[in-house]
């Protein structure tokens, strides 16, 4: 069906089906059932068992495919479930290149699980194309990119990576969690596969877990659906409904969050206790111009380095409106200590190489009043 519109905002609100075709309900029903009745032998409604497919999950998958300009989307129980299912398409002896500045969970699943089954990996600064090319091997099958990266906000030139990969028949994968399809559409830039932790901006309210794989290759999509059906990490109906509800307000949330983030980043940059601010919306950010070319926004994630470990811990313990918690992308502003939380599984030497130290903090900016957020940081920083 799909909505007859061009704007992202309208597509996000109306999704694949703006109302239920049977009842007219404008909120997609939650099909909270495990199995479906067959009309007769060899006759199915198209739904047999919710692990294989569920109408609520199907609506979510089709909606996100529309928003990412992809042909197929698969919904999983978390972002890590999506990445894990995707990595099972590779074979023992295959090699993948990953952004060296990346979420600790992606590093953990690669090193502690898939390496045991013969998948080898290299961690590279994908924002530097020469280092990327140097690490490509004959058995390299994929390049996995975070851009902006987590937590150092490095920007990778996606069109340039696509050109390098296409010459060598290498799959390109982008984790688009930080920007969402509202600000960045990697498939339009030639990327093969997009993954999301839908727990973050897509859901937007810190109340559910979800993950997605979006792609245009229908053969690979069918292979992934068979893997998903076999492993069973399929997103339940209620979580699918929550994510659909969140997507309806994605555009207005991100507009407000980005507006707040720009003001907070500029304030942090001028504070005497802040040594560095990493936010791609700042004009002096190394990847600012590249991001302007391949995205329509900068997002609402900020990382910054304070003058000491003691200052970092004081901020974490003294903020009142900003919440000291893991995760990101919700309407509430969260502050995270990457060294001890999101990136604890990454070896210390690798953390130090990319800049994840005891002085680094990461903020996911929410939709609160920005003056309240700045005053909260000011009170935490200053005696």
| Residue 292 falls in the annotated catalytic set | no
Which residue in the list 101, 125, 157, 175 is annotated as catalytic?
A: 175
Instruction: Tell which residue, 171, 158, 140, 148, has the closest CA to residue 102.
Output: 148
355 phi/psi in degrees, rounded to 5: 110, 10
| Residue 116 falls in the annotated catalytic set | no
Question: For the sheet containing 95-99, what is the strand order?
Answer: 72-76, 211-215, 193-197, 171-175, 140-146, 95-99, 120-124
Which residue in the list 11, 101, 103, 123 is annotated as catalytic?
A: 103
E strands, 166-300, are 171-175, 193-197, 211-215, 274-278
> Cα separation of 55 and 248, whole Å?
18
| Residue 123 falls in the annotated catalytic set | no
> Cα separation of 301 and 279, whole Å?
7
Which residue in the list 17, 20, 47, 51 is annotated as catalytic?
A: 51
Which residue in the list 57, 141, 185, 200 is annotated as catalytic?
A: 200
For CA atoms 127, 129, 130, 133, give the dihedral sign. Answer: positive
| Residue 71 falls in the annotated catalytic set | no
Instruction: Tell which residue, 186, 187, 206, has the closest CA to residue 197.
Output: 206
Catalytic positions, please?
A: 51, 103, 175, 200
């Amino acid at each position: 069906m799909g909505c007859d519109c061009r704007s992202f905002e309208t597509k996000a609100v109306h999704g694949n089906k703006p109302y239920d075709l049977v009842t007219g309900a404008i909120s997609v029903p939650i099909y909270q059932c495990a199995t479906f009745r067959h009309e007769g032998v060899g006759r199915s409604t198209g739904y047999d068992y919710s692990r294989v497919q569920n109408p609520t999950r199907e609506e979510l998958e089709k909606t996100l495919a529309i928003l990412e300009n992809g042909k197929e989307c698969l919904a999983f129980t978390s972002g890590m479930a999506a990445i894990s299912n995707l990595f099972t398409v590779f074979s023992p002896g295959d090699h993948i290149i990953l952004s060296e500045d990346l979420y600790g969970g992606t590093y953990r699943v690669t090193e502690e699980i898939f390496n045991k089954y013969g998948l080898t990996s290299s961690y590279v600064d994908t924002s530097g194309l020469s280092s990327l090319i140097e690490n490509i091997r004959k058995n390299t099958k994929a390049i996995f990119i975070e851009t902006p990266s987590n937590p150092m906000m490095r920007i990778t030139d996606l069109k340039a990576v696509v050109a390098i990969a296409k010459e060598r028949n290498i799959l390109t994968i982008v984790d688009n969690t930080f920007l969402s399809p509202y600000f960045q559409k990697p498939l339009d830039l030639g990327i093969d596969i997009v993954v999301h932790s839908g727990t973050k901006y897509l859901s937007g309210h810190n109340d559910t877990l979800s993950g997605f794989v979006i792609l245009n290759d229908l053969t690979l999509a069918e292979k992934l659906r068979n893997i998903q059906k076999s492993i069973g990490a399929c997103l339940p109906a209620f979580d699918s409904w929550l994510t659909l509800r969140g997507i309806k307000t994605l555009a207005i949330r991100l507009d407000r969050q980005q507006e707040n983030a720009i003001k907070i980043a500029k304030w942090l940059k001028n504070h005497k206790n802040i040594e560095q601010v990493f936010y791609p919306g700042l004009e002096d950010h190394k990847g600012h111009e590249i991001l302007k070319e391949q995205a329509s926004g900068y997002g609402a994630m900020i990382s910054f380095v304070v003058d000491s470990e003691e200052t970092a811990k004081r901020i974490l313990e003294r903020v009142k409106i900003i919440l000291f918690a893991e995760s990101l992308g919700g309407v509430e502003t969260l502050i995270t200590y990457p060294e001890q939380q999101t990136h604890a599984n990454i070896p210390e030497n690798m953390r130090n190489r990319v800049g994840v130290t005891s002085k680094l903090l990461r903020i996911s900016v929410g939709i609160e009043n920005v003056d309240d957020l700045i005053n909260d940081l000011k009170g935490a920083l200053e005696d």
